[in-house]
A and B are shown apart, each in its own frame.
Chain A
Amino acid sequence: MNIRSIGLIYRREMGTYFSSYIAYVVIAMFLLVTGYFFYNLLASFSVISFQAQSNPMLERQYNLLNINETVVRPLFGNISIVMLLMTPLLTMRLIAEERKSGTLELLRSYPVSDIDILLAKYFACLTVFLAMIIPTIVYPVLLVILGEPEIMPMVTGYLGLLLLGATFISIGLFTSSLTENQIIAAAVSFGLLFCFWLLSYSIAFVSADLGKFIGYIALNEHLESLAKGVLDSEDIIYYLGLIALFIFLSLRSMESRQW
């Protein structure tokens, strides 16, 4: 592993993300959609709060007046769905674009190992992802100013989003390494991400043991507990393991694609 090469490729990748406006457009759309979600959640919360003044029964229902339960937790759920739609757009070009243009061949004729190339690209994409997710901190900050939410679930929720995004990117990196067509890379990573996501729907239909297993491998189940404020090392290990697995698979794919 050569830190200098990684740094150089990282800087070049960042240059491409921003000079091609991919980063600006994806970040802008992400903030637009998540902002809209946040606005609606907050609006419905305030409507319920007003109704609760005249109808005390409402207060006892479903934790409706707990801002963590009605705004913060759904907000993380919504943000993670928008992430699921946006990250493949960031990752699809990572390897596929360079494979198509032939620059990958030239890059690999330099004394640099495949893992350095992959890590540099992974971290560049992760940085753009951070630039995308950090502005959303405005939403919980607004909640803290306007109301009295619990802080801890928000902190662990963000940790969850970060780990989830990092996992999405590793899956996207892998699908991008499979092909030279960016559309195919994006389509396959959408497919993989949705499958990992929707697995949890099957829990109800299968036996308890299998359900437990599916609950463990489904991507969003782990975010759920983090968004509740439960910091469990199991969740963190799950995401880190998945990231390592997909970076390893990308490496194998790069090597085998030499024909």
Chain B
Amino acid sequence: MIAVENLIKDYGSHRAIDDVSFSMEKGEILGFLGPNGAGKTTMMRILTCCMPATSGRATVAGYDCFDEPLEVRRRIGYLPERVPLYDDMRVSDYLEFVAGMKGMTASSVPDSVRQVAENCGLSDVYGRRIGAISRGYRQRVGLAQALVNDPEILILDEPTVGLDPGQIKEIRALIKDLSGRHTIILSTHILPEVSLLCSKVVIINQGKLVAMDTPENLGAQVGGSSRLLLHIGGPPEQVETALGQVSGVTSVQRDGTSQVDECRFFVDFDQGQNPRKDLQALIAENNWELMEMRSISASLEDVFIKLVTRED
């Protein structure tokens, strides 16, 4: 649905995007992750044909962004980061304007505008001037204008930035709801958002693509092995040695704050192995007390920090 090949974008001498390639299929939600200034917005501007790339190719729905911008624009809905809207227009007039601009037939405009306003929770402010509504509503108007003609592809630049937690939840639910029928690219620097919404993550840093995978695989990829936290009541030294002998376990670390008869251990084991059962059996055998056992997988946050800082 969207394919980017060897894309480079220079602003003067500054290289904003450096040889990035990725592609995505219909119905996917792709999360664009990166620190501020990584090139997320630049990438979105290129995909929406707002500006041409210096070199490389970007195709959206089979149309080249540079050669056939109008065909691309017909198929996308775009929500820019700053949510630029015409403050002097009413919400209803604005959405009707956008629907017309996107080439909807005059007869289908009123119904689809009313429908999208309802879906985006805009019924309360439908007749108000855009300049007079709150940040949260503005964001929703921005989302509504992107959605009004039910485009195949949605490009959302930081759709939840500047909203309160309740609004963030609502907008995320709305986006989640759109997945499947639409192909969505969203950029964000909020990590949980990506794990919640996206089926695929692209991490970029300083214009370079540093990782691309599903959120789960990314965690595994960086974690390398998996780790368990065990809190066991028993003589620490004895427990530590015993744990190390369980098959599949690669290392055991004792938590510094151990007491005489109980301790917390971090147990690393090879990916694909599952030593939980053996560990339980071992504990039961020795009549120790199992107080806590949980797995600690590398969170997206760890992945992100690891990938982004690895460069420096």
Contact = CB atoms under 8 A, between A and B. Distances in A.
A168 to B, nearest CB: 25
Chain A interface: which size bin? 20 to 34
A109 B100 contact: no
B35 interface: no
Contact of B78 (A8, A16, A101, A106): A106
A101 B100 contact: no
Contacts, number: 64
A25 to B, nearest CB: 15
Interface string B33-62: 000000000000100111110000000000
Given A20-B88, A110-B102, A258 B52 contact: yes
Interface string A92-112: 000000000111011111111
B50 A105 contact: yes
Given A5-B101, A8-B97, A101-B84, A109 B89 contact: no
Given A8-B97, A16-B88, A103-B85, A109 B78 contact: yes
A9 B76 CA distance: 20
Residue among A103, A109, A112 having the largest count of chain B Cβ atoms under 10 Å:
A109
**Closest A-B pairs by Cβ, 9 of them:** A102-B84, A258-B51, A109-B78, A103-B84, A110-B101, A111-B73, A111-B74, A109-B48, A8-B100
Given A106-B78, A111-B101, A113-B70, 14 more contacts: A4-B100, A5-B100, A15-B88, A15-B89, A102-B80, A102-B82, A102-B84, A103-B84, A105-B80, A106-B80, A106-B85, A110-B73, A111-B71, A112-B70
30 contacts: A5-B100, A8-B97, A9-B101, A12-B86, A12-B89, A15-B88, A15-B89, A16-B86, A20-B88, A103-B86, A105-B80, A106-B78, A106-B85, A106-B145, A108-B50, A109-B48, A109-B49, A109-B73, A109-B76, A110-B73, A110-B102, A111-B101, A111-B103, A112-B73, A112-B101, A113-B70, A258-B50, A258-B51, A258-B52, A259-B11
Interface of A: 4-5, 8-9, 12, 15-16, 19-20, 101-103, 105-113, 258-259
